[in-house]
Amino acid sequence: MNCYDVLIVGGGPAGSSCAWALRHSGLKVAILDKQIFPRDKVCGGWITPPVLTELEIDPEEYAAGRVFQPITSFRIGAIGSTPVDIDCRMPVSYGIRRREFDDFLLKRCGAELLLGAPLKTLERWPEGWIVNQEIQARVLIGAGGHFCPIARRVGAKAEYESAVVAQEAEFVMDASQLANCQVRGDTPELYFCADMRGYGWCFRKGDVLNIGLGRADLHRLSSHVHEFLGFLKSTGRISFDPPAPHGHAYLLYGDSTRDVAGDGYLLVGDAAGLAYSQSGEGILPAIQSGLLAASRIVAGDLGSYRGLLEKKLGGSRYPWLEAFGRHLPPQLISSLAHRLVGKRWFAQRVVVDQWFLHAA
């Protein structure tokens, strides 16, 4: 039996951040992941500056030999309408590739890595857990993403939750695709669905293109993706068919009822359901929750994690507005927002500043 103080199940940003924050704790920590790294992860790969500061990542060091695309503007609109360009005049976000980023975080985190090893069995023992009948751990961190086996074990039923579902393709463009792509690296393009229940994106990072669409509604996702690709082609943003997309899902913070802390375990990242509600940004809250979980382990106080996580990620900024909105028919809100999204002031002040960059 291999014995650890902490076993982290999942080596994405949530799990590796937790391990990284425990690297000087004196605790014996391991990360178990079913995949061998570097591995692909369905994701746009857009990160905001606090990701770098929270993890003390030197942008220059990171950018050496890896994709690191500064973002200085956004193109915002609705599918089928004319978009507006919002120039932020300085880098306000970055584009990374998840197979590089997650591998970078995992390799420097200091934990023992048990890769290519899915969690198969999980049993309780008096002082903790037994995993796969060969690993003992006092504390278990569920960092296995939306379908995390630890989250499932403590009651999550992913198939019944109202998650965001998404499809995405990321690929290196060949010479002909490069010549037929009008999307600029410094300007991700975001196009909202007519009912405002999701949006599509077209995000270039050097020669890499990332195209996807996510919706808070799992019906007819493929036909929304098809419509979006048709729109991109009809407007000349791309003049070729991207490869077949891959799908995934995540829960928005506020929609999740998962119990993030319990006897001998904590859930972090997508396993806890923490993505920002309007943008779907999940990497930052995954990292923040991983760091917070580590601090609670060191403090020997897992019970305070739930409350501190709520404090960190915050409740609603505009509770009065949300309360007011709850009394309006959803169709009215969607139609209003759909009309506003192509207006410059709304795209800048609300979509970019508030929804995507969390500006005060």
Ligand X SMILES: Cc1cc2nc3c(=O)[nH]c(=O)nc-3n(C[C@H](O)[C@H](O)[C@H](O)COP(=O)(O)OP(=O)(O)OC[C@H]3O[C@@H](n4cnc5c(N)ncnc54)[C@H](O)[C@@H]3O)c2cc1C
CB of 69 to ligand X, least distance (A): 12
According to the binding rule CB under 6 A, does residue 45 interact with ligand X? Answer: yes
**C-beta of residue 247 within 8 angstroms of C-beta of residue 42:** yes
**Cβ distance to ligand X smaller for residue 3 or 36:** 36
Among 12, 142, 185, 200, binds ligand X (CB under 6 A): 12
Q: Cα(162)–Cα(164) distance, rounded to whole angstroms?
A: 7
- Sequential DSSP letters for 80-92: TS--EEEE-SS--
According to the binding rule CB under 6 A, does residue 281 interact with ligand X? Answer: yes
| Angle in degrees, CA 209, 210, 215, rounded to 5 | 160
Q: Which residues are within 8 A (CB) of 135 and not within 5 positions of it... i.e. 6 or more apart?
A: 1, 2, 3, 4, 7, 30, 32, 114
Total residues belonging to the chain:
360
Quickly count: other Cβ atoms within 10 Å of residue 116's Cβ: 12
According to the binding rule CB under 6 A, does residue 46 interact with ligand X? Answer: yes
Annotate each residue in 148-177 with x if it binds ligand X (CB under 6 A) or - if it does not, as one string: -x----------------x-x---------
**Cβ distance to ligand X smaller for residue 43 or 341:** 43
Annotate each residue in 129-148 with x if it binds ligand X (CB under 6 A) or - if it does not, as one string: --------------xxx---
Q: Cα(320)–Cα(334) distance, rounded to whole angstroms?
A: 19
CB of 332 to ligand X, least distance (A): 29
Q: List the structure tokens of 146.
A: 């939306």
Q: Which stretch binds ligand X (CB under 6 A): 130-138, 153-161, 223-231, 270-278?
A: 270-278
According to the binding rule CB under 6 A, does residue 358 interact with ligand X? Answer: no
Contacts with ligand X: how many residues (CB under 6 A)?
39
CB of 136 to ligand X, least distance (A): 17
Q: Which residues are within 8 A (CB) of 172 and not within 5 positions of it... i.e. 6 or more apart?
A: 207, 208
CB of 201 to ligand X, least distance (A): 8
Q: Which of residues 233-262 bind ligand X (CB under 6 A)?
A: 248, 250
Query: By CB neighbour count within 10 A (0-12 exposed, 13-18 middle, 19+ buried), where does 244 fall?
Result: exposed
Quickly count: other Cβ atoms within 10 Å of residue 124's Cβ: 11
**C-beta of residue 33 within 8 angstroms of C-beta of residue 131:** no
Among 4, 8, 20, 41, binds ligand X (CB under 6 A): 41
According to the binding rule CB under 6 A, does residue 32 interact with ligand X? Answer: yes
Q: Is the peptide bond before 38 cis (omega within 30 degrees of 0)?
A: yes
According to the binding rule CB under 6 A, does residue 34 interact with ligand X? Answer: yes
Chain residues that interact with ligand X, rule: CB under 6 A: 9-15, 32-35, 41-46, 118-119, 143-145, 149, 166, 168, 212, 214, 248, 250, 269-271, 275, 280-284, 286
